[in-house]
């Protein structure tokens, strides 16, 4: 079954110059990259992305982490990988959430760490289910930034520019 998954190379991955390395590891999956960009992470985007963790004691530090405030790198690389069993394949390569417990050959096991403030700096984000992938891809990308049709869209016309039509997620 073909699936899409959102991958983020987090600010620690960028600061440690791991982009090439991570993309090489992910290429082992033979999945297709169908969207890719560098993105600034606004507070609102960060909070929406991690909404499932808002009650956790590490939430505020996690938001600072994903926004780049701990690494002086105010950006992430966002990608969508697509193909057979994409979510499982990418999660497996990434390793478990806690980098100290992740298999040592996984991306997180190789390059992650736990900060003194207790945040798991684990280098990459990978969606963990199809529902999560759908929510996250719609949050991070516009329909026209993804080169396959993943989810339904609608066309909207901006009031001020009647000739300008834009596709947004339905
Ligand atoms: P995931 O990234 O493996 O899907 P989630 O539970 O969705 O794990 O958590 C999102 C991110 O929040 C993790 O990647 C990690 O950076 C951080 N995090 C999760 N659980 C903890 C924790 O118990 N302590 C510190 N940081 C955590
Ligand atoms: Mg998660």
Question: Which residue among 60, 97, 100, 101 is best mutated to probe the pocket of ligand 1, counting the most ligand atoms within 8 A of its Cβ?
Answer: 97
Q: In the numeric block, which tokens belong to residue 34?
A: 């169908």
Residue 144's domain is classified under what CATH number? 3.30.70.141
Cα of 153 to ligand 2 centre, how many Å? 25
Q: What is the pLDDT of residue 164?
A: 79
Ligand 1 and 110: CB distance under 6 A = no
pLDDT band at 108 (very low <50, low <70, confident <90, very high): very high
Q: Which residue has the higher pLDDT, 44 or 166?
A: 44
Q: What is the pLDDT of residue 158?
A: 74
Q: What is the pLDDT of residue 165?
A: 85
Query: Which residue segment(s) compose the domain that 88 sits in?
Result: 2-169
Given a cut of 80, is residue 160 above it in pLDDT? no
Given a cut of 80, is residue 162 above it in pLDDT? no
43-82 per-position pLDDT tens digit:
999 999 999 999 999 999 999 999 999 999 999 999 999 9
In sequence order, which residues have a C-beta less than 8 Å from that of residue 45 and are 6 or more positions away?
139, 140
Q: What is the pLDDT of residue 157?
A: 83
Q: What is the pLDDT of residue 134?
A: 98
CA angle, 24 as apex, 135 and 33 as ends, to 5°? 40
Q: Rounded mean pLDDT of 11-33?
A: 97
123-145 per-position pLDDT tens digit:
999 999 999 999 999 999 999 99
Report whether 95 contacts 89 (CB < 8 A): no
Average pLDDT, the chain: 96
Q: What is the pLDDT of residue 67?
A: 98
Q: Rounded mean pLDDT of 94-122?
A: 96
DSSP sequence for 112-152: -EE-TT--EE-SEEE--SHHHHHHHHHHH--GGGSSS--S-
Q: Give the span between the Cα atoms of 141 and 49, in whole angstroms.
A: 12
In total, how many domains does the chain have? 1
Report whether 112 contacts 120 (CB < 8 A): yes
Q: In the numeric block, which tokens belong to residue 149?
A: 């049709």
């Amino acid at each position: 079954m073909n699936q899409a998954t959102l991958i983020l190379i987090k600010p620690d991955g960028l600061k440690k110059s791991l982009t090439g390395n991570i993309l090489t590891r992910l290429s082992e999956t033979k999945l297709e990259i169908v969207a890719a960009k560098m993105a600034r992470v606004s507070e609102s985007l960060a909070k929406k992305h991690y909404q499932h963790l808002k009650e956790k004691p590490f939430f505020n530090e996690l938001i600072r982490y994903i926004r780049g405030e701990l690494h002086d790198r105010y950006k992430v690389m966002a990608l969508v990988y697509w193909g057979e069993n994409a979510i499982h394949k990418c999660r497996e390569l990434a390793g478990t959430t806690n980098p100290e417990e992740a298999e040592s050959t996984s991306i997180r096991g190789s390059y992650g760490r736990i900060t003194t403030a207790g945040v798991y700096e684990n280098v990459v984000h990978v969606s963990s289910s199809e529902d999560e992938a759908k929510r996250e891809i719609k949050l991070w990308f516009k329909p026209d930034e993804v080169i396959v049709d993943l989810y339904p869209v609608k066309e909207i016309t901006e009031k001020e520019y009647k000739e300008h039509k834009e596709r947004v997620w339905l």
